[in-house]
Amino acid sequence: MSDALVETLHSSLLELDQPKTVAAARAICSGDGEPSAEQAVQALAAALEIVGQRFQQEDWFLGELVYAGEIAKQAMEILTPHLSALATQSSGTLVVGTVAGDMHDLGKDIFITYARSAGFEIIDLGVNVSAERFVEATQVHRPLALGISCLLTICAGGIPQVIEALAERRLRDGLRVIVGGAALTAEFAAEAGADAFAPDAVTGTRVIEKWSGV
Amino acid sequence: MREPVEIELQPLGQSISVEPGTSLQDVLHGYGVEFPCGGNGRCGGCRIKLLAGTLAVTPPQAQILSASEIEQGWRLACHCRVDGCLTLEVEQWDTAILTHHASLQFAPRPGRGIVVDLGTTTLVAQLLDLQSGRVLAVQKARNPQAVRGADVMSRLARALEPGGRQELADLIRNEIGALLVGMLDSAPNAEKAIESVVVVGNTVMHHLFCDLDIESLAYSPFDSPNDGLQEFTAEQLGWRLPGSPRVRFLPGLGGFVGADILAGVLATSMHESDEVVALIDLGTNGEIAAGNRERILCTSTAAGPAFEGGRISQGMQASTGAIAEVRAEGGGLACHVIGGGKARGVCGSGLVDAVATSLDMRLIRPNGRLADGSHSLPLTNDICLTQSDIRELQLAKGAISAGLRILLARLGTDEEQLAKLYLAGAFGNYVNPASARRIGLFSARAERVEAAGNTALLGAKLALFGEGFADMRFADLLSRIEHVPLATDARFQEVFIAETAFPGPQ
């Protein structure tokens, strides 16, 4: 059994060594099933957890956060076909978008990378998403949670509008709403009627994992 | 302690009292003297004329000024310290415009005119003699709208509230009206007619001053159909000016890029240049224009206020008590404090210097992390930079340098080939270009980087004096300028992330 390969996958992601991480993922897939792709995915998730801690502790910044997410994504693409049917089952569906009037997608996209790595299926509505489009997507996809991003203070008023529109269509019950972005605070999120505030992509992913019971 | 000494400023007719040994740079900036190279004795832009008293001629002055100029009393304000009572002539017109704009179609005409640079933070007005081109008086004030938020987005939010738009329009019109009356009173012949008033500012300032619908600027795609030339009579604005002049707010260029950048294009002659040149104007917003006589692209970036000391834990504006310069000395960091007293905080130029110096000393890694693993970098006993402050600067500089790279790429060129990079606004006056380059704000070769001072005010003067701009609509020029919204550029995000890092060891 070659736990060394899993260890390499984990450590090379934390060294932001893309070739080495990808090579380790390939080696695991072409092996005899020991270590398994599932073990590899767990190692990646554990490494991303550490990436998140480093970001929160200010050791790392956006560049490392985005790059680590990108490397993990590439490794996941290699590993996914080798996962058992049980393991490929989605942890849940998330509908994600940036609020109306706001064109910023950076924070939203980092969140999506991390949530996908955690096994969630993402419906990305893009930027400048109207309340109506959030409602429609919720009706169609019946997601576990709705994620709304907002960078501009002036657009933050759009968030309670989305949540009210969901309530009007009786879609709010059983749906969790998480919001994040530079314009927002935990207080604002609570006042707007959201279930959670994500100060960063990693924390946000952890909140959703809790909701899905992963 | 020695007795304070008096400095009399002509033609302003004002007197100020300072401690002996005070640097003229610290004092005169508030009176309209510009320091294009940041006070390094390189450009000669801050020249003043000594009418009475003595000021020593230091070696940098002897290099820039000719013997006959020195004989006539010319000095560089950036290299003078006050020793005794003085009378100075501090008009800037001759040096700032005529020497750099030999091609200006200057048509002398009788009368007087006024230009106003309406900044998000600061207002500057100049009274000009249209016959001689001389600056007769200068006035500065804070933008009173600042009580409703420091940046344009919070002003917009206020304007969208009931009664907010009217309040902001009244605030700014009343303040400028009072500023102009005060300026006229400070100059001789206060009753002499004013022919024309030219106002420049960013698009939000334009709309709030002109009391226009701002809904289109508050939401995506952030482009207003009403950013053209706006004309008023002085009476319409409630201004009591002799001669009842027309007041014109010059047209904007699209999005948040306003008449101040149109003025910047005029001031740098970008629209007449054969080669591609670029202008970065770092105020509360960061705007960039790049191009040549054929085509000009412009954009605004969400750089945030870090370059003005905003969102920095111990940040402050460039005023008394601010650490404005930092350099390596004896293995540590040495700080220059404006006014010479105890440091109260750090302003944008000090922040850029501190990070640039720390990168050289390997106190900060290229990824922005403090090398010792701590979360703060002491600058003095009381003032330090936190890790978050460095992150703020990374975001701000990443936005600007990514914007510049994308504009140049669209023009089919890059910084390496750029013929000239003009730095305006806060930059021109304060930020050390070498430090700005060290943190990776730009990579253009040092000899091609030029501090351009307040290009908004310079350009407004060119519009006021220029013969070909009679209608002030700039239709031909505007047809060659294209606004690029960075949010919709597919590459912006990737370039921005890459540009948040600092350049490696040099």
- Give the pLDDT confidence of A47-86 residue by residue, as tens digits: 998 998 898 888 999 889 989 998 998 999 999 888 887 6
CA nearest to B276, candidates B419, B166, B374, B168: B419
User: What is the pairing mode between strands B246-249 and B230-233?
Assistant: antiparallel
Confirm if B270 and B464 have CB atoms less than 8 A apart: no
B50 at interface of A, judged by CB pairs closer than 8 A: no
Amino acid identity of A99?
V
The band of A172, judged by pLDDT with boundaries at 50, 70 and 90, is very high
Q: The complex's ipTM?
A: 0.77
- The answer to whether A100 contacts B156, with C-beta atoms less than 8 Å apart, is no
Whether the model pTM is above 0.90: no
CA distance B495 to chain A (A): 10
> Which residues of A fall within a CB distance of 8 Å from B488?
103
Confirm if B28 and B48 have CB atoms less than 8 A apart: yes
Q: Note the pLDDT of residue B102.
A: 38
Q: Which helix (H) or strand (E) covers residue B124, if one does?
A: strand B122-129
A105 at interface of B, judged by CB pairs closer than 8 A: yes
CA distance B428 to chain A (A): 29
- Which residues fall within 8 angstroms of residue B277, CB to CB, at 6 or more apart? B268, B270, B290, B291, B292, B418, B419, B420, B421, B422
3-state secondary structure of A76: helix
Q: Note the pLDDT of residue A173.
A: 92
Which ranges of chain B have pLDDT less than 70?
1, 11-13, 30, 32, 34-38, 42-43, 45, 91-106, 284, 426-429, 467-469
**The pLDDT of residue A192 is above 70:** yes
3-state DSSP helix/strand/coil % of chain A, to nearest 5: 60, 15, 30
**The pLDDT of residue A9 is above 60:** yes
B501 at interface of A, judged by CB pairs closer than 8 A: yes
- The answer to whether A61 contacts B391, with C-beta atoms less than 8 Å apart, is yes
Q: Note the pLDDT of residue B100.
A: 42
CA distance B216 to chain A (A): 10
In angstroms, the first-to-last Cα distance of chain B is 45
**The pLDDT of residue A109 is above 60:** yes
**3-state SS string over B382-435?**
CCEEEHHHHHHHHHHHHHHHHHHHHHHHHCCCCHHHCCEEEEEEHHHHCCCHHH
C-alpha to C-alpha distances, B78 to B26, B140, B422, B489, nearest whole angstrom: 8, 20, 20, 42
- The answer to whether A59 contacts B369, with C-beta atoms less than 8 Å apart, is yes
Q: Note the pLDDT of residue B177.
A: 97
- In sequence order, what E strands does B44-109 have? 47-52, 74-76, 86-89
- The answer to whether A62 contacts B387, with C-beta atoms less than 8 Å apart, is no
User: What does residue B191 show for φ and ψ, rounded to 5 degrees?
Assistant: -90, -5
Q: Note the pLDDT of residue B96.
A: 35
Amino acid identity of B74?
W
- Provide the number of CB pairs (under 8 Å) joining chain A to chain B: 59
CA distance A5 to chain B (A): 28
Q: Note the pLDDT of residue B97.
A: 36
What does the mean pLDDT of chain B come to? 88
Length of chain B: 506
The residue to which tokens 């770092």 are assigned: B282
DSSP track, B290-338? EE-SS-EEEEEE---SGGGTTT-TTB--SSTTEEEEEEEETTEEEEEET
- Which residues fall within 8 angstroms of residue B387, CB to CB, at 6 or more apart? A58, B368, B369, B370, B374, B375, B376
d(CA A118, CA A112): 10
The band of A2, judged by pLDDT with boundaries at 50, 70 and 90, is low
Residue A197 pairs in a beta bridge with A179
CA distance B211 to chain A (A): 19
Encoded tokens for B486: 């960075």
- The answer to whether B156 contacts A66, with C-beta atoms less than 8 Å apart, is no
Q: Note the pLDDT of residue B101.
A: 42
B221 at interface of A, judged by CB pairs closer than 8 A: yes
d(CA A118, CA A125): 19
What domains lie within chain A, and their CATH numbers? 2-85 (1.10.1240.10), 90-212 (3.40.50.280)
